[in-house]
Structure 1
Amino acid sequence: MRVSLLEATSGPSRLEIEDGTRPDADSGSLRSAFGLRTKRMLRWALIAVFAAPTILSAVYYGLLAAPRYESETQFIVRGIHGNRAVPGLESLMQAIGIARSSDDSNVVLDYLGSRDAVSQLEAALPLRKFFGREEADVLSRFPRPLFGDSFERLYWYYGDRVKAVADPDTGIITIKAQAFRPEDAQAITRQLLSQAEVLVNGMNVRLETDTVRAAETVVAEATSAVMEAHDVVTRFRNAQAVVDPSQNAIAQLNTISDLSGQVDRVLAQIAESGKMAPSSPATVALKAKADALTAQIASEQKALAGPQSAVADKVSVYERLIL
């Protein structure tokens, strides 16, 4: 492009472009072209972000994806528990063994999603063969493209194909397994159910063993306490020279009762003699007998309840030892 300088006699100098295009018109055209290009790029970007995944998913699931079959099994965990005070109907249900245990259910759920469950499942079933059937499409079968067939990859694949959930209201655990053949999915759920049953039975056996062991410990401690108490009672009997202080107390009470009866009879005789023969020597003898009986009663009462060596104190110590 050539530019020439022209001079005019009646006006200022100016620049002219030989092909007749002005500079401001050229820059506007560039901006317009850039704007159109930007709009096209945004349009294709929106298509790529929103439309392409939908189209690809429709093509894959409509034309390429292999059918998968799902097997489902349900069960409820019934565990053995210690003696806990549970009121009402729940206590009755636990007594006959139909109450559910949320703690045991959580343990079973954790197990079903663990590597131990996958390891035992693989030992019992050809799990890799089930997940790598020839009728499966290349994106769904195991091992997946660009990934190996290690146990860790199998565990990840298992997590996509097997789900275990628990109903919080009923406690029912549901296992769902997907495979490319119906018999494969059914075999997986049956084996997982069997493994869960073995796990729960093992927990119950351990709980039973712990309960029996604890009961045996309590019995041994109680036996030791009884023997020790028996030795203490024997030492007490030897020290006090008495077999059963309570029986001695009963005997003393009977003695006091008999002596009181004798005193009453003697007093009656004294009263009768005083009316008939006040100066009779028999009256003096009866009064002496009554005084002797009264003194005997006081002595027996003092021995029964009084100082620390009294029978009542011995009975109290003896009863505490027996208790």
Structure 2
Amino acid sequence: MNHFSKGNLSESPATQSRHEANLPVAIPASNTPIKARWECLRSPLFLVIVAAPNLISLAYWGVIASPVYQSETIVVVTNPNKDSDSLTSLLAGNAGASTSGAYILKNRLLSWDEYKSIDEKFHIEKTYKNGDFVARAGGLSSFWRTDDISMWKYYQSKIGINIDEQTGITKIIVSGWNSNDTFKISEALIHDGITHLNLLNTEEDNDFISSASTETERLRKELALDESAIAQWRTVHGYLSPDSDYTSLSSKHLQLDNKYIDLNSQYQSVLHNTPGNPSTLTLKTQMNVIQNAELDARTASLAIFPVAIEYETLNLKRETDSKLLVSAETALQEARIKSTQNHYYLKTVSRPSEPRAPSGPQRLKWMLVVLITSIILRALLA
């Protein structure tokens, strides 16, 4: 055993170096990937595209952004002429509905006139000045502008109107920095919407009814003038109606003529049988009276003809105006029915809500949106 040890110890230096060369040697691991990763995180592109936007997003959405309160109102604008389905079926979504009234309401509520009306009542700039420095009226989002056009655009951004094309149901969402303001503005918008639709209905009535109503009034006045002209003709000429008066006088003439014939026959009989009878004088007198009355009736009946043409002209005009008045009144009634069918009616499904808790901002959502967007943009630009 000692010999073996001595033999090993007696190996030459060259042999020992060959053994050492065959032994495994530990190679230190390279730290290049770690350095590259840190270099990537410190690159200007990463700092500008990812780091800075996310830090700003975290600061704004996490700390600075003001709570947002929303008042929601649900309404339906109907038109009897266009909406044949019942309100129940429309709300159930079983049938299509006309959305023309809903878009009229939307355009009105977002219009300049409505902005001026709301601004006079609530002073948009003062009401919305309590938000954070970005979202408040006259803040960073509007580049610190407070002119009327900028405030109008700001007002429009706080009024959300969503229309369901299937049912026509319209949601009006008013956003603000406190519950009370949003609730009052929502109520004012609904009131102004109803007022505007009523104004449109009135104008619709005027368009349909005004011409028919004017014509009806004109014909009524014309008919009154016709009656007055006929009454004046009767006063001047002393006749009620040429037709009836001539018939009456002709009948009277025939009666007198028959009576004259009877008296004359009696007179001739008495005169023939008892000449000198005193009754003949009485009969003769009666015959003269009847003959004079008959002559007067004949003269009066003949006198009707010259003035009958004037009366017939007046009477024809009266009858024509009377028929036209009936037609105009019928047209007026139809116009009223048609105008009613074209009215728009605003029906409230849900009154304006008055929330006690804020519904926004959705902080996590927007921070995630900024993060994902910045990462995608960084990957595209890398």
**TM-score by structure 1 length?**
0.47
Using CA pairs below 8 Å that are at least 6 residues apart, which structure has the higher relative contact order?
Answer: 2
